[in-house]
């Protein structure tokens, strides 16, 4: 199966503005930002969507949310922010690799 665009970013095959990376995830700026701050928080594990998460992924999910909280601080989103996950076709998911949008920097 062809790699998704996010897997290619994880594998450093295509460029992205990466702002954070660790063993479990990578975070980069969305190429079409919908807010002054629009980051994509992407696990390195290839999980197609939120719906494919299993109990085994619970620690990973906790880690992703901890990273989101840390980045919200670093990007000074002190007045709040929005975390978005689009799941599947009806959810408007366009990249089949689990990711969370972190949006902020304005009144949404």
Nearer to ligand 5GP, 60 or 83 (CB): 83
Nearer to ligand 5GP, 31 or 106 (CB): 31
| Catalytic annotation, pick one of 38, 63, 76, 99 | 99
Per-residue DSSP letter, 5: H
- Minimum CB–partner distance for residue 106 and ligand 5GP (Å): 16
**DSSP per residue over 62-102, as a string?**
HHHHHHHHHHHHHTT-TT-EEEE---TTTTT--SSS--EEE
Nearer to ligand 5GP, 31 or 66 (CB): 31
Binding site for ligand 5GP (CB under 6 A): 5, 16, 28-32, 40, 86, 92-95
- Minimum CB–partner distance for residue 94 and ligand 5GP (Å): 4
- Is residue 76 annotated as part of the catalytic site, yes or no? no
Q: State the Cα angle at 103 between 56 and 23, rounded to 5°.
A: 35
CA-to-CA dists, residue 30 to 34, 46, 50, 70, angstroms: 8, 19, 19, 18
Catalytic residues: 99
């Amino acid at each position: 199966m062809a790699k998704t665009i996010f897997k290619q970013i994880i594998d450093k095959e295509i460029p992205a503005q990466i702002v954070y990376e660790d063993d479990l995830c990578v975070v980069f700026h969305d190429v079409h930002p919908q807010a002054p701050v629009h980051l994509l928080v992407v696990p390195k594990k290839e999980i197609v969507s939120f719906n494919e998460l299993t109990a085994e992924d619970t620690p990973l999910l906790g880690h992703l949310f901890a990273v989101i909280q840390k980045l919200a601080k670093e990007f000074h989103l002190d007045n709040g922010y929005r975390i978005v996950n689009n799941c599947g076709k009806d959810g408007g998911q366009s990249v089949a690799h689990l990711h969370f949008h972190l949006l902020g920097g304005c009144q949404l």
